Amino acid sequence: MKQFFITFFANLAALLFVFGGPILLLMILIVASFSVSSKGKRMISIERGSILVFDLSVNVTDSPEHATPTSPLAAALNGDNNKSVTLRHLTTALEKAAKDERIKALFLTGSFQPADFGTGFSSLKELREAILDFKQSGKEVYAYVEAPSTRDYYVASAASTIYMNPFGEMETPGLASIKTYYFDAFQKYGIDVQVTRVGKYKSAVEPFIVDKMSDADREETEKLLGDLWGDFVSAVADSRKIDPAAFQQLVDTEGYIRPESALNAKLVDKLAYFGDVLKDLGKIAPSSSYALVPLPFKQISIYDYINASRTPRLPGESHSDNVVAVLYLEGEIVDGWGDLTNIGGDRFAAELRELQRNNDIKAVVLRVNSPGGSAYASEVIQNEIIKLKEKKKPVIVSMGSYAASGGYWVSTYGDRIFAEPNTITGSIGVFGLFMDVQKLGNNFGITWDTAKTGNYADFETISRPKTPQELALAQSRVDDLYAKFLDKVSVSRGIPVQSVELIAQGRVWSGSDALNIKLVDQIGGLDQAINYAADKAGIGSNYRVKEYPEQMSFAETLALLLSNQEEPLSHAKVDPLTQQFLKIKADFKTLEELNDPLGMYARLPLGWEIR
């Protein structure tokens, strides 16, 4: 569908130009530009006594969308009308709604649609806490679930009243990390992989050299899953006033919990169909008789509320000249400029230099949601962070769902590091990955020959395996980079190198464990980091928040949309076979992004997906 629209608009543009329509085309683009890039908030009417409706059927991201979900052109070209919404927009809207006399209650419905690095448990914890704060204001929170996933129920369990469809089920059997291994397939087709690495737990290379989890990888994965699941169980038990052990027993017994069992266990309050829930809400907030479109109850969607012009003002929304910049680092870290799907080291460094030059910016909050990637690009970014601090601008790090390997590399020099208990961080280790397609080529009658002027002149070739001398050279480079990584953490965190080495080894830690071993300073979310940054800069509450990178222009967005040939993932629930093929596609995309000029990486293991 996307290709159709690309072809259609390209042909339309060509016809307009050929037949003397440049002015008409320009007018169309100008009108579209204003409709897409206008930053003014729409005038939205909010009736007193309305229920704020939060449809969870979104991907919750840290960084703002480059192409806004309200753009009809972007939606058409992407073949996708579903939304990605930033965490801060959601939490800010909930904070405002708690103080807004026109908002009577909150209604949660739908099911999250995670994609890329969005909708991680750390982000959902911040969202859940915002819902709990809303409830603390004295306003009710209602939730309707049908077949809630662990993510869905993690958030919905914060509600005052939970309705469940009588024919639904709770899909909360526990957390799992299913990793794909390519070793046998590569061997079958004649692709060999050689690796260099440092760190007992640095398992990012293992999918290509073994056919199952190593003991070390299984140990750290099970520990991390246990930490995340423990946070989930504790949160549910606390909100629902139930025994954690009883809940765990129910999960282990039924796996997919039936509605009757969920009701008996007090995981939900009522079994009801959606129409019955609407009737109940209609009694709480009767629909206005003068409404143009009859509604089952008086309501406003949280997405309209985000865009409403008249909502309570919060700290950070003043017109002060003092700016706390929130800079988002979300995605794979790659060398060079990168693209919309990753973090280019050079591009991000340029953003940091802009912040250095902007005198209005008094402090920077670096929001990190990244598994790492290129060690070289991570160092390029870290260098600019250090220079930003030299400008006497505090740099506070707020870790999202992932801040590991290269993600921790860029974080470690923060003046203070915030993380959630279920943030995935650490993974201080380095690896190199070298592929060899000699056998594959030979099978098709392809051979290679080389002339060179130095022993290592053809080191980067994939037409043959690395020699023992070359592997020794590669290992020495990895060892050197690992030692530098340890030194950086030691200096920035004030921990002896010997102690850093004990907690490094490529091991992944939860935010709670990271606090205990001093890799982070404080448990907290993005709002806490912003408040701390303002205090550190000595500006108190006299500041405004500005997010970076800034939203792209219409022309830039249009060019990228038209040039991007990748079909978007459907937000519909896909079958397991399709999921596996998409997973393989994502793994190979990650391989494409391993572009470090030195061939060395600080990254989480491939396929680190928690389900």
Residues, the chain: 611
27 CB burial (10 A radius; 0-12, 13-18, 19+): exposed
- The catalytically annotated residue of 405, 411, 510, 512 is 405
Q: Which residue has the tokens 């505090």?
A: 394
Q: What are φ and ψ of residue 323, in 5° steps?
A: -120, 130
DSSP one-letter string for 394-424: -EEEEEEEEEETHHHHTTTT-SEEEE-TT-E
3-state secondary structure 553-607: CHHHHHHHHHHCCCCCCCCCCCCHHHHHHHHHHHHHHHHHCCCCCCCEEEECCCC
202 a catalytic residue = yes
Q: Is 75 helix (H, G, I), strand (E, B) or coil?
A: helix
**Which residues have a Cβ under 8 Å from the Cβ of 223 and sit 6 or more positions away?**
none
DSSP one-letter string for 13-50: HHHHHHTT-HHHHHHHHHHHHHHHH--SPP-----TTE
Give the amino acid at 510.
S
Q: What is the DSSP letter of 456?
A: T
Closest CA to 603 of 434, 349, 427: 427
Q: Is 296 helix (H, G, I), strand (E, B) or coil?
A: coil
In sequence order, the β-bridge partners of residue 53 are 107, 301
- The catalytically annotated residue of 83, 202, 298, 393 is 202
583 a catalytic residue = no
CA distance 440 to 190: 4
CA distance 191 to 180: 17
Taking 3-state DSSP, the helix, strand and coil percentages for the chain, each rounded to the nearest 5, stand at 45, 20, 40
Q: Contact at 8 Å (CB) between 353 and 578? A: no
**Pairing state between β 416-419 and 508-510:** unpaired
In sequence order, the β-bridge partners of residue 344 are 334
3-state secondary structure 161-216: EEEECCCCCEECCCCCECCCCCHHHHHHHCCEEEEEEECCCCCCCHHHCCCCCCHH
Q: Contact at 8 Å (CB) between 537 and 53? A: no
Q: Contact at 8 Å (CB) between 347 and 327? A: no
Give the amino acid at 572.
A
- Active-site residues, by number, are 202, 405
